[in-house]
């Protein structure tokens, strides 16, 4: 790879730990609740991984927190080809810029990607979630339409279209254009030699906050081929009634349970007489709901030892922590003496391995290895966390 374009959505993922299930239209509220940006740190992690392998690649980026700061921090000397406002030049000279104080829009992402394509980059690396993926893909689809007007061989594949790769930083990541971790993204960018067509999906965040997942295919784009590019989310329809019943029979008195999002865990809560928040996190102890649809701070405020965290992997992707349940943060995980992973056999059949991506490498490493997943009233299956 000779040239790379890098754009960062600096507010991506801010709504996760404070329980907003996304940041679209919720930036001010996320800030009020004490949310901190995570995308810039994840951008630096990905770019440092790339720099270790290919320090001489030419990096084009957008000014300030839209990419330049992270690229420079990783050791590159970038070429800034997009500035979002008249204040960008001053922002580029600033030190200690707080991403929370910088307003950016989807239009900035799209404009930056267009600038990268004009430079003839070999790959667009974006940092964000599904919404950022949609913005980048929109520009790439425009590139594809331009090619179609002059193409005479009838090839409907990637052709000469520029591939993209996502560094996961958003709350919801249903698209199959993201690396599993930021470090994987840097490695893939440095080493890939071919691409395949992958789906970009997005969901309705307002419906998501109400507990309903409405996914929509937005685009199909070329993505580097690598084992560490995540799959799209799949939904398992298998019955979990026996699993929920078996789990409920073994509930311990005087133990705090942190129930993660999703239908499988929700079935356990329903068995216990809890009205679950379908896509939120609930805390329960001795028949009492201590926090419902809780943010990280709410969870930490009511935890009392001993603590069990109950989660189910995302179908098709296998993520146990780090996708859709950021409220269960490293601080919460450290308080738990027990982690229970539950899933139907059908869901596990579609997963090669489980994944964790908590923003804390020490915790991720501690969680890796073989894990016993509960699949029914009495049955379990050993699955590896990688």
* 278-289 per-position pLDDT tens digit: 789 999 999 999
Q: Residue 206: which of 30, 13, 23 has the closest Cα?
A: 23
pLDDT of 90: 45
In the numeric block, which tokens belong to residue 99?
């991403």
The answer to whether 230 and 180 have CB atoms below 8 angstroms apart is yes
Of residues 339 and 220, more confidently modeled: 339
pLDDT of 207: 57
C-alpha–C-alpha distance, residues 19 and 361, integer Å:
22
pLDDT band for 338, please (50, 70, 90 cuts). Answer: very high
Q: Residue 104: which of 77, 83, 125, 79 has the closest Cα?
A: 83
Helix 130-150 and helix 106-118: axis angle, to 10°?
A: 40
* Percent of the chain that is helix, strand, coil (3-state, to 5): 35, 25, 45
- Flag whether pLDDT at 305 surpasses 90: yes
Give me the mean pLDDT over the 245-255 stretch.
93
28-37, 165-174, 312-321, 369-378, range with the lowest pLDDT = 28-37
2 backbone dihedrals φ, ψ, rounded to 5°:
-95, -35
C-alpha–C-alpha distance, residues 205 and 71, integer Å:
30
Sign (positive or negative) of CA dihedral 140, 144, 146, 147: positive
pLDDT of 36: 65
Q: How far apart are the two ends of the chain, measured CA to CA in Å?
A: 27
CB count within 10 Å of CB 238 equals: 16
- H/E/C letters for each residue in 261-302? CCHHHHHHHHHCCCCCCCCCCEEEECCEEEECCCCHHHHHHH
229 backbone dihedrals φ, ψ, rounded to 5°:
-100, 125
- Flag whether pLDDT at 22 surpasses 60: no
145-149, 150-154, 209-213, range with the lowest pLDDT = 150-154
Q: Which pairs from 74-77 meet CB under 8 Å and 24+ separation?
A: 74/44, 74/47, 74/48, 74/50, 75/47, 75/48, 75/51, 76/47, 76/51
Q: Residue 296: which of 16, 78, 99, 80 has the closest Cα?
A: 16
pLDDT band for 240, please (50, 70, 90 cuts). Answer: confident
313-323 in b/e burial notation, b at 16+ Cβ within 10 A?
bbbbbbbbbbb
pLDDT band for 159, please (50, 70, 90 cuts). Answer: low
Residue 179, strand partner residues: 229
Q: Residue 123: which of 169, 188, 189 has the closest Cα?
A: 189
- Flag whether pLDDT at 14 surpasses 70: no
Give me the mean pLDDT over the 170-175 stretch.
76
Give residue-wise pLDDT tens across range 349-376. 888 899 999 999 999 999 999 898 998 8
Q: Quick check: pTM over 0.85?
A: no
Give residue-wise pLDDT tens across range 43-90. 999 999 999 999 999 999 999 999 999 999 999 999 999 998 644 444
């Amino acid at each position: 790879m000779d040239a790379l374009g890098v754009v960062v959505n600096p507010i991506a993922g801010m709504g996760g730990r404070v329980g907003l299930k996304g940041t679209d239209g919720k930036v001010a509220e996320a800030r009020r609740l004490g949310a901190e940006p995570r995308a810039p740190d994840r951008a630096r992690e990905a770019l440092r991984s790339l720099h270790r392998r290919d320090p001489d690649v030419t990096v084009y980026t957008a000014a300030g927190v839209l990419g330049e700061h992270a690229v420079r921090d990783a050791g590159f000397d970038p070429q800034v080809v997009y500035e979002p406002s008249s204040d960008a030049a001053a922002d580029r000279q600033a030190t200690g810029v707080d991403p929370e104080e910088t307003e950016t829009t989807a239009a900035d992402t799209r404009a930056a990607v267009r600038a990268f394509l004009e430079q003839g980059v070999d790959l667009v690396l974006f940092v964000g979630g599904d919404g950022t993926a949609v913005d980048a893909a929109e520009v790439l689809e425009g590139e594809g339409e331009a090619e179609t007007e002059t193409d005479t061989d009838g090839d409907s594949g990637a052709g000469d279209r520029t591939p993209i790769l996502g560094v996961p930083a958003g709350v919801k990541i249903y698209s199959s254009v993201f690396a599993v971790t930021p470090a994987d993204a840097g490695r893939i960018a440095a080493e890939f030699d071919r691409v395949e067509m992958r789906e970009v999906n997005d969901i309705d965040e307002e419906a998501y906050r109400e507990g309903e997942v409405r996914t929509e295919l937005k685009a199909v784009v070329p993505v580097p081929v690598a084992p560490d590019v995540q799959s799209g989310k799949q939904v398992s329809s298998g019955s979990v009634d026996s699993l929920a019943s078996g789990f409920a029979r073994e509930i311990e008195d005087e133990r705090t349970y942190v129930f993660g999002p999703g239908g499988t865990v929700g079935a356990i809560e329903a068995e216990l007489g809890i009205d679950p928040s379908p896509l939120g996190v609930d805390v329960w102890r001795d028949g009492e709901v201590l926090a419902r649809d809780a943010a990280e701070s709410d969870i930490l405020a009511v935890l009392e030892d001993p603590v069990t965290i109950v989660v189910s992997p995302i179908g098709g992707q296998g993520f146990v922590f780090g996708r859709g349940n950021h409220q269960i943060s490293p601080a919460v995980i450290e308080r738990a003496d027990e982690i229970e992973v539950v899933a139907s056999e059908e869901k596990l059949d579609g997963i090669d391995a489980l994944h964790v991506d908590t923003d804390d490498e020490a915790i991720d490493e501690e969680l890796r290895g073989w894990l016993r997943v509960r699949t029914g009233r009495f049955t379990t299956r050993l699955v590896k966390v990688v």
